[in-house]
Amino acid sequence: MDERHRVIGNSICELVGSCDPSLCDAWCCRHMVFTIDKHDPDDARYFNVHGCVAVERGDKLLVLVPKVCDGLDLKHLTCKIYGTRPAICQRYACHPDHRFKSEYCSLRWKLLHGREAQVALSKMRRG
């Protein structure tokens, strides 16, 4: 599977940058983020009342759940399992318009166009 490329919305994106634990503020290890379909106008309020942050994104809700990873050290700054961390941690990156993204994280999804997008799509289909 080609984990450096992903379809986000209607766009082909490539994961660029790297995880540098010496600069990282462990943002992605201190929060879980997911999107859900919005079924009720009160859905965001439900999450917010329960200690999460929910932001409306069209017909979706972007939900931020405060949860510290057990792999972090006691100061929550360094990953104790960095060399053997799960694959999802190694390829973690936020959507380009993600409002909770750490300013120190260099991982991001770059939108691809033209030939670059065609090549990436071909890799994804073969993967």
Q: What is the pLDDT of residues 66-122, one digit of tens each?
A: 887 888 777 656 778 877 878 777 666 555 544 445 566 667 778 898 888 888 888
DSSP state string for 61-110:
EEEEEE---TTB-TTSSSBTTGGG--HHHHT----TT-TT--TT---EEE
Nearest-angstrom CA–CA distance, 79 and 94: 19
1 has pLDDT over 60? no
- Report pLDDT for 83: 73
Residue 15 per-residue DSSP state: E
Bridge partners of 19?
Answer: none
Check: CATH 3.30.56 for 18-106? Answer: yes
- Report pLDDT for 7: 80
Q: What is the pLDDT of residues 37-51, one digit of tens each?
A: 888 878 888 888 998
pTM of the model: 0.48
Contacts of 111 (CB under 8 A, 6+ apart): 11, 12, 13, 96
Domain positions in the chain: 18-106
